Amino acid sequence: MRKMLRSAVSLILLSLTLVHFSYASQKPYIILVSFDGFRWDYLHRGLTPNLERMQRNGVAALSLQPVFPTKTFPNHLAIITGMYPENHGIIFNRFRDPFSGKTYSLGDASAVRDPRWYLGEAFWETAERQGIVCASYFWPGSEMRPDYRHPTFFEKYEHNRPYEIRVDGVLKWLQLPEAERPHFITLYFDAVDSKAHQYGTRAAETDSAIARVDRMLGRLIAGLEKLGMLNQVNIIAVSDHGMMDTSPRRVIYIDRILGDTPFEFQQRGPVMMVQPKPGYRDEALRKLRAAEKHFRAFAREDVPAYWHFSQHPFISEIVVVAEPGWLLQLSGEKVRGKATHGWDNHTINMHGIFVAMGPNFKKSYRTGTLRNIDIYPLLCKIMGIKPRQNIDGKLERIAFILR
């Protein structure tokens, strides 16, 4: 009798194991690739044969609309959480908690790993909790503590790590035993953003960066083909924002406008947060509004609803937004670089790209502008898992691109 029971238990365990491996083999694969600062129209320069291949064999949007402000960390978190910055918590690349005095900065490894700043749930958290192994070869927020808040596999950000090593690292993860292998992977490249900041959007150096990141996409596709996995993997290429050229002739000096009104500020460039000293808020607003030319000044509670940038407590009492192409600075400061981003997310040159190819996407399909906050629910739909219910993204605005 005992022998029969042992045999029955063994058969049940074997069946469960086979079911597990069968399910693992059926789960979709997604590689989400970010090309930082890749403006929507860079696709039309004749420099991107691999992105063009993806467009022919998959889905291409006219553009990908970022969230406001159109900065790197706020938008990478919007993509991966499906939330606006006022809700996911990362309102700028650098900002201060006025209550504790602590500062979040993209260049501070301790800060970017501190979970206190991140109010949203990243897709890898949602997926891992529902049994999907995830990995990240760089993505803002992917290094955060504690362990359950980052992917199973992740790399600590190293700005100068060769791009070939990054791609090969992703391919190595896909060669792990099937039960250990990640089914969702992120990959990040900065070159297009970095070169455009330094040289401008029309520079030869920027074109070279566009071609370079496209070659890395080609390396990824070739690697998947070699592994016999290309037909199993969904590749989604996105960018966090676009880019616009600047000029030292298009600068507004906020301190000259405010004069002797005492204030503190955060950020320069397209957007500035102004915090007047106690009792000076109305005076500062009056001066700024009287001088409005090529910019607008808003009390925090009056920031236009379509920007979704008024509810977070770290947003200063006054938000000043420059007209696209204009910059907000203090007198005596020089304009750095030749292009930047951060302006109104409805400005087309602030838009990025969305190109996707794989078994879950339609083929040779063109659509209009998509919103980056809708990518999180799209990922959940592809993976067959339940999304968080407090997100801002909506599946119905993007699900039509799926087969």
Residues with active-site annotation: 72
Q: What are phi and psi of 397, to 5 degrees?
A: -85, -10
Query: What radius of gyration, in Å, describes the C-alpha atoms of the chain?
Result: 23
Closest residue by Cα to residue 126 from 143, 142, 149, 144: 149
Q: Residue 189: which residues within 8 A CB-CB, separation 6 or more?
A: 33, 34, 35, 36, 163, 166, 213, 216
The rounded distance, in Å, linking the Cα atoms of 342 and 349 is: 11
Alpha helices for 259-370 (secondary structure H): 281-290
- Count of CB atoms within 10 A of residue 300's CB? 18
| φ, ψ for residue 32, nearest 5 deg | -100, 115
380 close to 132: Cβ distance less than 8 angstroms: no
In angstroms, the CA 345 to CA 391 distance is 19
